[in-house]
Structure 1
Amino acid sequence: MKSMLVYRWPGRVPVLREGVFVIGVVTSAKRPQAREQLRSATRAALAAVLGVDADAINIDSTPGEAPRIQVAGDERTIGCSFTHDEGYALAAINLHGSVGVDMMDVQDIHDWDNVARDYLGPQVCAALRAAPASKQATEFARAWTRHEAWLKCQGRQLSEWQAGCEPSTGVALRGLPEGLVGHLAMAGAN
Structure 2
Amino acid sequence: MKSLAVQRWPGPTPAPQDGLFAILINTSAASSPPGTASAPAPNAASTVPPPASGAGQQRDAARRQIRQAAREALGAVLRMPAADISIVSTPGTPPHVLLAGVGSHIGISFSHEDGYGLAAINLHGPIGADIMRVQDIPDWQTVASDYLGPAVAAALQNTINRPLAFTQAWTQREAALKCHAQQLSEWQAGLSGASISLILPDPHLAGQIHIGDKTA
- After TM superposition, the score normalised by the length of structure 1 is 0.93
Q: Which residue number in structure 2 is paired with residue 4 of structure 1? A: 4
The equivalences for 1:33-112 within 5 A come to 33-72=61-100, 76-112=104-140
Letter in 2 for 1:155: A
Q: Which residue number in structure 1 is paired with residue 15 of structure 2? A: 15
Q: Which residue number in structure 1 is paired with residue 36 of structure 2? A: none
**Distance in 2 between the 1:96 and 1:70 partners?**
14
2:162 maps to which of 124, 132, 136: 136
**Distance in 2 between the 1:63 and 1:188 partners?**
22
Q: Which residue number in structure 2 is paired with residue 151 of structure 1? A: 177
Contact 2:3–2:197 (Cα < 8 Å) also in 1: yes
**Distance in 1 between the 2:190 and 2:103 partners?**
31
Letter in 1 for 2:27: T
Deviation at 1:153, TM superposition (A): 0.9
Deviation at 1:27, TM superposition (A): 1.1
Between 55-64 and 33-42, report the one with greater CA deviation. 55-64
Structure 2 counterpart SS, 1:13: coil
Letter in 2 for 1:65: T
Letter in 1 for 2:205: L
Deviation at 1:12, TM superposition (A): 1.2
Contact 1:27–1:88 (Cα < 8 Å) also in 2: yes
Q: Percent identity?
A: 48
Structure 2 counterpart SS, 1:119: helix
**Distance in 1 between the 2:194 and 2:151 partners?**
14
Between 72-81 and 93-102, report the one with greater CA deviation. 72-81
Please list every run of 5 or more consecutive structure 2 residues that lacks an aligned counterpart in the other structure.
31-57
Contact 1:147–1:166 (Cα < 8 Å) also in 2: no
- After TM superposition, the score normalised by the length of structure 2 is 0.82
**Distance in 2 between the 1:174 and 1:70 partners?**
28
Please list every run of 5 or more consecutive structure 1 residues that lacks an aligned counterpart in the other structure.
none
Deviation at 1:63, TM superposition (A): 1.9
